[in-house]
C-alpha cells in the first residue's frame, strides 16, 4: 500500500481519525558509507527513534509521518550518526520538502492561520517559511528602472506605505513598509541604472523630495497636480463645515447634499445642481466665493505655459478675501513651499495617472487586510504569477551585414523592415496595476 507516493519510505501502518492521518514509515535506503571517515560497508545499527514530520494533506485531513529513524555506528572510526532524511524531509521545519513547497505557494494566497489549520504546523512556523520564501524571491525580483518614476502612498493596515511606480507603463514597482526618507533612499540606491530616471512625480511629502535629491540629483521633481488641486477642494470643505457650524438645524437641512454638489466641477453640474447652488450662494455668499475660488484654481491647470500658470496663480491668490484666507492657507503655503516642483508640471506634463487605480487598490486591500500582515499583502501583489507586465517587443537591425548597416540602427515601434529581427528587453516592467486590481476584486488572489 503506497498511500504517500514517497519513494524513499516504506509505509508500515496507517491510522486515521476525523481530522488526521498518522502514518508510520521507515526508510528503504540505508547509508552505504560513514559520513565521518568514508568507510564503506562497515556499519551496524546502533539505535533508533521515532520522529514526527508533517506531510501534504490527504482527503482534506492533516498527515503526520511517524518516521522510524535509524542510528548507525561505524566499526572503523567508532562514530555514530543518524541516517539522512534531507532527500525528503526538511528537518528545520519538521515537514516534508513537498509540504514546504506547498506552504510557500499557499502563503501568498491565504492567511497563515488557515494554512496552519490545514497542514498541522504552528502558525509561527508558517510565518517563518513564508519569510524565507519571500527572501529568496526578493533576490530574483528585478524590474526595469523607469524613465518616469512615480512616488505615492496608500494606506494599508492603518499605516501609510510608500508606493513606487513606472508612470509610463502604469505598473507597480514596489510597496515599502513606510514612507521615511531612509527607507526611500535605500530603495532608490539599490535600483540598477538609476541614472536613467529623468522625472520623478510625487506628492508634497518632504522625505520623498529629500530622498530623490540625495540619490537622483539630476532628476526633475514634479509634484502631481492631483495632490495640489485636491487642496482646493479641501479648502472649500473647510469653509462649508465652518458655515454649517453656525446654522440652525432647519438651515442645515437647506444645505442637504451640499458637499456632493460643491465638489463637482461647474461643467459637471446638472441644471438642478446649478439652481440649488445659486440658491445657496445667495443665502451664504462666502460659500459661493469659496466655490468660485476652487473653480478658478482648477482652471489654472489648463494654462499652456509655465509663465501663464504662474501669473494666473498670483492673480487668483490676490482675490482671496480676508475672511477666507485661513481656509485657503494650507493651499497657498504649499504653493509657496513647493513652487518649483509644482510649476514644473507645465514644462513636463507628467502626473501619477494611476491615482484612481490606487484608490481602488486601497479599498480592496483594506477589505482584505484582516488576517494578513503587510508583508503578506505586498508579496501577494509582487510575486503572484501572471501579474508582471512584459516589455513590448522591439525591432533592431540584424548586425550580420556590417557593410550595409550601421551598428546604431534605430529601434522600430511597428513591424520591422526586411533584415531586422525581434528583440526583447530582459526585465519585466513591473506589476500591471489594472490586472492586479481586477484579480483582487474577483477574488483570484
What would the mean pLDDT of 23-40 be, rounded to a whole number? 86
Quick check: 355 pLDDT over 70? no
Helix, strand, or coil (residue 80): strand
Distance between CA 413 and CA 397 in Å, rounded? 13
Average pLDDT on 386-406 reads: 57
CA 429 → CA 98, 184, 292, 439, distances in Å?
32, 20, 42, 19
* Lowest mean per-residue pLDDT among 70-84, 95-109, 385-399: 385-399
Q: What is the pLDDT of residue 97?
A: 95
Q: Give the CATH number of domain 148-224+351-357.
A: 3.30.420.10
Report DSSP letters for 16-68, one per residue: E-SSEEEEEEEES---SB-TTT--BS-EEEEEEEEEEEEEEEETTEEEEEEEE
CA 301 → CA 50, 86, 325, 386, distances in Å? 74, 65, 21, 38
Give the C-alpha separation, 39 to 230, whole Å: 77
CB 342 within 8 A of CB 335: yes
Structure confidence at residue 109 (pLDDT):
81
Name the pLDDT band for 242 (thresholds 50, 70, 90).
Answer: confident
Q: Give 409's pLDDT tier (boundaries 50, 70, 90).
A: very low
C-alpha to C-alpha distance for 347 and 222, rounded to whole angstroms: 9
Average pLDDT for 59-77: 90
Instruction: Tell me the pLDDT tens digit for each residue of 359-393.
Output: 677 667 666 656 677 888 888 888 888 888 888 76
Determine what percent of the chain is predicted with pLDDT higher than 70.
87
What is the mean pLDDT of the segment spanning 92-103?
Answer: 94
In angstroms, the CA 194 to CA 428 distance is 16
Per the CB < 8 A criterion, the answer to whether 231 and 331 are in contact is yes
CA 126 to CA 106: how far, in whole Å?
Answer: 10
**39-43, 54-58, 62-66, 106-110: least confidently modelled range:** 39-43
What 3-state class would DSSP assign to 432? Answer: strand
Show Cβ contacts of residue 102 under 8 Å, excluding neighbours closer than 6 positions.
56, 119
**pLDDT of residue 77 exceeding 60:** yes
Highest-pLDDT range among 136-145, 243-252, 320-329: 320-329
- How far apart are alpha carbons 174 and 379 in whole angstroms? 10
Q: Which pLDDT band, with edges at 50, 70 and 90, does 266 fall under? A: confident
Whether the pLDDT of residue 21 is over 60: the answer is: yes
Burial of 112 (0-12, 13-18, 19+ CB in 10 A): buried
pLDDT exceeds cutoff 50 at 398: no
Amino acid at each position: 500500500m503506497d498511500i504517500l507516493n514517497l519513494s524513499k519510505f516504506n509505509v508500515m501502518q496507517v491510522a486515521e481519525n476525523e481530522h488526521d492521518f498518522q502514518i508510520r514509515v521507515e526508510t528503504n535506503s540505508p547509508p552505504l558509507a560513514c559520513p565521518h571517515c568514508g568507510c564503506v560497508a562497515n556499519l551496524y545499527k546502533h539505535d533508533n527513534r521515532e520522529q514526527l514530520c508533517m506531510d501534504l494533506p490527504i482527503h482534506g485531513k492533516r498527515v503526520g509521518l511517524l518516521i522510524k529513524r535509524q542510528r548507525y555506528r561505524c566499526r572503523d572510526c567508532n562514530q555514530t550518526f543518524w541516517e539522512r532524511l534531507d532527500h525528503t524531509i526538511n528537518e528545520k521545519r519538521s515537514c516534508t520538502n513537498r509540504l514546504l513547497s506547498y506552504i510557500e505557494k499557499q502563503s501568498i494566497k491565504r492567511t497563515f492561520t488557515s494554512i496552519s489549520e490545514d497542514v498541522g504546523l504552528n502558525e509561527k512556523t508558517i510565518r517563518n517559511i513564508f519569510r524565507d520564501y519571500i527572501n529568496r524571491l526578493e533576490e530574483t525580483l528585478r524590474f526595469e528602472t523607469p524613465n518616469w518614476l512615480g512616488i505615492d502612498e496608500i494606506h494599508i493596515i492603518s499605516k501609510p506605505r510608500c508606493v513606487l511606480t513606472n508612470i509610463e507603463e502604469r505598473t507597480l514597482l514596489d510597496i515599502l513598509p513606510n514612507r521615511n526618507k531612509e527607507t526611500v533612499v535605500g530603495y532608490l540606491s539599490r535600483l540598477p541604472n538609476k541614472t536613467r530616471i529623468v522625472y520623478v512625480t510625487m506628492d508634497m511629502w518632504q522625505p520623498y523630495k529629500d530622498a530623490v535629491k540625495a540619490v537622483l540629483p539630476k532628476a526633475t521633481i514634479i509634484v502631481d497636480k492631483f495632490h495640489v488641486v485636491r487642496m482646493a477642494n479641501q479648502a472649500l470643505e473647510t469653509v462649508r463645515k465652518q458655515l454649517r457650524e453656525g446654522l440652525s438645524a432647519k438651515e442645515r437641512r437647506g444645505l442637504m447634499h451640499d458637499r456632493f454638489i460643491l465638489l463637482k466641477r461647474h461643467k459637471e453640474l446638472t441644471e438642478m445642481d446649478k439652481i440649488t447652488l445659486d440658491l445657496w450662494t445667495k443665502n451664504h455668499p462666502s460659500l459661493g466665493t469659496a466655490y468660485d475660488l476652487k473653480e478658478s484654481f482648477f482652471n489654472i491647470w489648463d494654462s499652456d505655459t509655465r509663465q501663464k500658470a504662474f501669473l494666473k496663480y498670483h492673480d487668483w491668490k490676490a482675490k482671496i478675501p480676508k475672511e477666507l484666507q485661513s481656509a485657503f492657507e494650507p493651499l497657498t503655503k504649499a504653493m509657496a513651499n513647493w513652487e518649483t516642483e509644482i510649476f514644473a508640471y507645465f514644462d513636463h506634463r507628467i502626473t501619477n495617472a494611476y491615482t484612481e487605480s490606487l484608490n481602488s487598490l486601497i479599498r480592496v486591500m483594506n477589505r482584505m487586510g484582516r488576517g494578513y500582515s503587510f508583508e503578506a499583502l505586498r508579496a501577494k501583489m509582487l510575486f503572484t504569477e501572471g501579474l508582471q507586465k512584459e516589455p513590448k517587443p522591439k525591432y533592431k537591425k540584424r548586425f550580420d551585414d556590417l557593410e550595409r548597416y550601421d551598428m546604431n540602427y534605430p529601434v522600430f515601434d511597428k513591424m520591422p523592415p526586411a533584415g531586422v529581427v525581434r528583440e526583447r528587453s530582459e526585465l519585466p516592467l513591473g506589476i500591471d496595476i489594472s490586472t492586479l486590481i481586477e484579480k483582487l476584486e474577483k477574488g483570484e488572489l
